[in-house]
Structure formats: structure tokens, C-alpha cells
Amino acid sequence: MFVSELHVTKINKKHMKKLSILLACSFSFIMIQAQLNYPVTKKVNQVDNYHGVSVADPYRWLEDDHSDDTKAWVKAQNEVTFKYLSQIPYREGFKKRIEKLSNYAKFSSPQRKGEWFYFYKNDGLQNQSVLYRQKGINGAPELVLNPNILSPDGTTRLIGFVLNKDGRYAAWGISKGGSDWQEYYVRDMQTGMDMGDTLSWVKVSGIAWKGNGFYYSRYPAPEKGKELSTKNENHQVWYHLVGTKQTDDKLIYDDPKNPQRFHGVSTTDDERFAFLNISDRGKGLDGNAILFSDQQAADKSFKPIIAEPGNFRYSIVDNIGSDLLIETNENAQNGKLMKVSSYHPEKANWKTILPEKSEPLTSVSSVGGKLFANYLKDVTSRIYVYDFEGKLQSEVKLPSLGNAGGFGGEQSDPFTFYTFSTFNYPATIFKYDIATGSSTVFQKPELQFDPADYTVEQVFYSSKDQTKIPMFLVYKKGLKKDGKNPTILYGYGGFNISSTPAFSAALIPWMEQGGIYAVANLRGGAEYGEKWHEAGMKLKKQNVFDDFIAAGEFLISKKYTSTNFLAIRGGSNGGLLVGAVMNQRPDLMKVTIAQVGVMDMLRFQKFTIGWNWIADYGSSDNKEEFEAQYKYSPLHNIRAGTKYPATLITTADHDDRVVPAHSFKYAATLQEKNASKNPTVIRIDTNSGHGASNTAKNIETTADIYSFILFNMGIVPKF
């Protein structure tokens, strides 16, 4: 509410208190805006030629994250940003409220290995979840690994813990400071002691046990000092024997002639089969190849099921003796499950187990002698149980429309676990009895608020080309549609990823202040299968932006909000989304939150694993794809003299997925060209990566985002 909206003809103590708060906030707003003095960002004479088009890149020097000039620029920008944020009167109030509501115990689904059940638990505000195990389903928990003690600031994460077949050994991995680089170690689970094995430069890798060792994937060690920005090439598969040095590991597979391929090995639970998965997204191919090795065969070399990567995806589900279960979208855009004989793997011999349905098949798992198939219907889960011949047995009845996942285990298990959640239903673990088909609550969180106080609504609206787009809206019951509700519109729209309903306690403080949280299910994702994905890729990327713009227009037309109270937010590919949309429609929103975004569409492929995104985005090396990218690239479409909304850009020093140079160059350009007095500030976190590296950093960032949004909307929250 603005001061000008107050009627003060009848002043009482309550009105005086409210007026004083509003006056204080209004004064703070004027003073903070007036004090914004951005650092001077030097320019260089850098011009690149793309297919005959000259493109200036005056802030190219910011790509060198280790130079003294870049470090000085980062320091100066952070000083401006954190001074701005620190003067918002209710910033600390948001932080404390998020902390309070997030302070409840959170559990993962248990995973059985022999007589032991392993699970993760976070007591509430621990920076990292802790790994425990217990003997039997009702046994006393005992500590296995506590990553919170691995670094002083709690930014070292446990990113993998994989037991071998009999549970004697575990390979466990960490990442430091939010980086995608991983280190792996080996622990003897009988003694609880690590064995001295240390594996470095692991990335884009699983752990696949075979005998007394395991397969893993890594890159050659990068140049010292450029670990977080150098292009990652020549992905290799190695085999490590427990109790040996990494220098003794055996190279299983590499392909120097195709340096931008990913290679990974998985094994079946019985360790009979090993599968080599190969993808080549750097060449724009969205599918993969699969080769297999049968350990019972005389010739144990890898033989092709699919010899070369193409545009179809193949995923191994399990084996039934010598037969393999493979999930694929080949000639089935919504996915299907096939049975393949390892003796005769030619496609002519494949048998359909689960045919394609009208809804996309998001996953299949095999446990307790059954198949559990997860389908997505209008962005909510449907779980069906089948036998191994594809005969429907039952449907798993879920509490409501929402998102379910899990259903893991071994063929001898009599039960399995799954987790269900939606925006107003916290992640709850259910135990599913396979024989009876019944579900019972196994672990339910105890909250300090009632999620039932909040409404989840799903709406459908028309995009520019009249395609119907689904969107979830979450808000407190009793909300009035008067166009004055502060609204965060979130989107992603890419990489075949669905934005499914999920619970977050951090959303409650936003909705307590009368806020709406909207999630638009844009094309480019997987909400309606591969056709939905393809409709937002490469030359069709503009569809994603049109979908998001139409979402904002819908919210305004239905008076959920209005331009002065709309904020758009997205991260990574979603950061690209909000950057492009703000350029195209700066009049649509009041605030933009662009997080770890892909902002330079002409050079993303030159850093770390950015070339992996060519399959979705295309490449500036291709003339037609360059022309499409150049039209929407957030960095290259900021127009001098245009009045842009208040913008908060976030990134981190250890983001080696979308390197911070994207955000650096974008912030410098927007500060230079923005004709409005609205702030353009960049928040650069330390010891963090593509996502917040610990709980504390996540809470701090969320509080800053909420504060920035409401402050620039002129709204004073109540705590």
C-alpha cells in the first residue's frame, strides 16, 4: 500500500502506527533508490562475426573470473547490492519467518540393503541432510555420514552414497562450495571407516558396482586456476577396484574423436549386465546409444543395442533373467516399455510391454516382482502397477492431485516406499504393501502451520498461438481477486523437464502476506511428452516466451494481480526465460528475478558443459539457429533508452554449470542501458553454485528476493 492511498481524516493509534511504518518505508525507498551508484564497468573493443553479422561484446573481459579486474568488479557490485538490500526494513523479518516455518524434520524414503534401511534426515535447519541407517524397519537409527562437519560453513554436500551388492562397501561422493565437480571415497560398512580410496575430477557420473569395484565417469584434470570455467571435454569411463589408488584405475571407455559426448555405465541389481550409455547433445542430438556387456557370456565386451546416439532416448529399467526392460520414446513420443532379449537384441525382436498412452510415461521402476509406471496427466502423477507381461494389476491411490515418486527396491522386497507432495501437502512418505496394494503413512512431517489454509488451483489459458497452457496458482484461502495481490510468476520451459507440484515451507511467508505463487507449465518441458518438449526447442524457443507472457496477461485479466504487482522469476534456463520476456515485454511486470541464467545465447557452448545444451538451444555456429538465438538472447536484446522493471540478478562464484559470466555481462549491460530509475542489482553469492550450497544460503537468498519484490511494489509486509 502506498501512503497516498491512506485516508487519514480519522486518525487513531492504529492508523498512526501504520502511517509511521508506511512513511518510514517510503522514505527508505526514496533514499535507497537515490543512493544507487553502480560501479563503472569498463568496455573493450570486442566484435565477433557470426555469419556476416557483427556482434559487439564489450564486457567480454568479465568472462575471466580469476582476473583482478573481474574480482574488483564483483566486490564493487556486491557492495552496492547488499547495501541496497540491508536497508529494506523487513528483510530480517522475512528471513526469521522463513527459518521458523522451515524448521521441521524432513526425511527421505528408506532404501533397504540386506537387513539395513538407509535414509536421510534433516532436523530442520541443518545446512545438509544427514545419512542414517537402522537395522530393520523399526530399528534404532545410527549415524552413517554427516556432511555438516565436512566444511566450516556447511557448503560441502553429500551427492552420492551407493552400496555394493551385499552392502559391505559404499562409494560416497561430495561436492564443495556448490561446484559440479565431485570427489568420491570408499567406506567399509562393517567397520564404518573409510579405506583411503580418493577419486577426483568426477562429473556427470553414476556409481555402478561390479564385484569388488565400480564404474564411474570423469574428465581429465582441468588447467589449474580454470577448474570452474574450462570447457569439459573427453568424458571417460573408468573402473575402480576397492582399496587401490585412482592412478591404478582401468580405463573402460573414451572417445577422443567425439570429445563432447557423455559416457556412463550402469549395472543391474544382480550385476549380470553392464550398460554403456552414450549421448551426443553437443551435436544437437537429444537421444542416446546403449551398449551392453553380459558377464555370463564368454565374450564380455560391450555390444550394441543402439549403436549410435540419435534423437530417441533409451533407458534401462531392469533385467528379467536374460531379457532387458527398456523404456524409450522411439516411435512413441509419450514413451513406452519394451522387452529386449540379450541374445537377440535386434529391434525386430523387441516386444512391447507397456504401449504408448495419451499421457506421458515419466518413469518405470521394478520392485517386488512388479512394474510401477508413473504417468503424468495434466502435470499430476498417476501410478499404475503391472506384471512383467504388461497386465494391469492396480492403481496406487494418491491422497490428491500432486506429485509422487520413489517405488524403488529389489525383486525380493515385499513392500516399497514412495513420497507424495503438492503445493499445500508436505512431502509425506508412504509404505506400499505389494501383495495387498495398500498404502500407509510411514513418515509425515510435523509443521508449525496448517497447509490446508492454502488453496491450490489449476487453470488453463491460451498462448499466442492458442495452445492451451496449464498453470498452478497457490494462495491463502479468502484471497480477493482485486488486482492488488503481489504475485510471483515462475517458469522454466526447457530440457524436457516438468514443473510439477511440490511443497516448500519457504512459500508460506510469501502467501501469508497476501502473495500468489504461480507456476506456468510452458512448452519446452515434459508436461505433455516429447511433442511438448519439441515445441519449445531451438527454432521454436519463442513459443516458451509467448507462453510465459500469456500467463502474465491471464493473471492480470482475471484480476489475480496487475502490472504493478507482478514479479517474474526463473533460474538457469528459467533465468534465460525471464531475461528474454523482460526484454520483449518490459511493461508487463514490476519486478524481474533472474537467477543463474543463460544470458549469452551466442557463447554458452564455450564454457564447462554448456555444449550439452545445443540439443535444446541450437548453436550460434549454425546460421539459422544463430538468427533465432540472436533475436531473443537476453544479453543482446537490451535496448538503450528502454525503461526496465526493477531487476535482481543472482549468481554464485562456484557456479560451473551456467558460469557467472552470463550474469556479469547481463548486469553490466542492463545497468548501462536501462532508462528507468528502477534498480538493477546483482547478488553474487560466495562458496555457492548453480543452486544454494546449504540451507542457510537458500533462506538468505529467498528472504532477499521476497524483500526486493515487495519493496519495489511499495508493499509493507506484516510480521
Q: How far is CA 617 from the centre of its chain?
A: 17
| Dihedral angle of Cα 541, 544, 545, 550, to the nearest 10 degrees | 150
Cα distances (Å, whole numbers) of residue 137 to 88, 141, 436, 714: 49, 10, 19, 53
DSSP-based three-state secondary structure for 544: helix
C-beta separation of 584 from 253 below 8 A: no
Instruction: Check residue 437 and report its DSSP letter.
Output: T
C-alpha cell at 16: 498512526
C-alpha to C-alpha distance for 196 and 193, rounded to whole angstroms:
9
C-alpha to C-alpha distance for 680 and 663, rounded to whole angstroms:
12
Cα distances (Å, whole numbers) of residue 535 to 362, 460, 489, 532, 541: 18, 18, 21, 5, 8
C-alpha cell at 448: 508449525
HSE at residue 698, side-chain half, CA atoms within 13 A, is 20
Q: Is 690 a catalytic residue?
A: yes
Main-chain dihedrals φ then ψ at residue 283, nearest 5 degrees: -95, 10
> H or E element: which one contains 584?
helix 573-584
Long-range contacts of 281-284 (CB under 8 A, 24+ apart): 281/611, 281/612, 281/613, 281/614, 281/615, 282/605, 282/611, 282/612, 282/614, 283/614, 284/538, 284/614, 284/615, 284/618, 284/619
Annotated catalytic residue, options 179, 572, 693, 707? 572
Give the list of residues 6+ apart from residue 73 with CB closer than 8 angstroms, or none: 39, 41, 62, 664
DSSP-based three-state secondary structure for 633: coil
Nearest to 616 by CA among 540, 543, 547, 690: 540
C-alpha to C-alpha distance for 327 and 339, rounded to whole angstroms:
9
Helix axes 623-632, 542-557, angle to 10 degrees: 30
| CA angle 24–590–707, rounded 5-degree value | 45
Instruction: Check residue 451 and report its DSSP letter.
Output: G
**Could you write out the DSSP letters of every residue in 2-22?**
-GGG---SS--HHHHHHHHHH
First-to-last alpha carbon distance for the chain, in angstroms, is 16
C-alpha to C-alpha distance for 578 and 557, rounded to whole angstroms:
20
- Strand residue runs (E) in 20-126: 47-50, 53-56, 106-107, 111-113, 116-122
C-alpha to C-alpha distance for 339 and 348, rounded to whole angstroms:
12
Nearest to 337 by CA among 311, 359, 358, 365: 365
DSSP-based three-state secondary structure for 509: helix
C-beta separation of 449 from 508 below 8 A: yes
> H or E element: which one contains 201?
strand 193-202
Instruction: Check residue 690 and report its DSSP letter.
Output: S
Q: Is 263 a catalytic residue?
A: no
Give the list of residues 6+ apart from residue 413 with CB closer than 8 angstroms, or none: 112, 367, 368, 434
C-alpha to C-alpha distance for 688 and 67, rounded to whole angstroms:
19
Annotated catalytic residue, options 235, 533, 636, 690? 690
Cell 550385476 locates to 271
User: Would you name the residues annotated as active-site residues?
Assistant: 572, 690
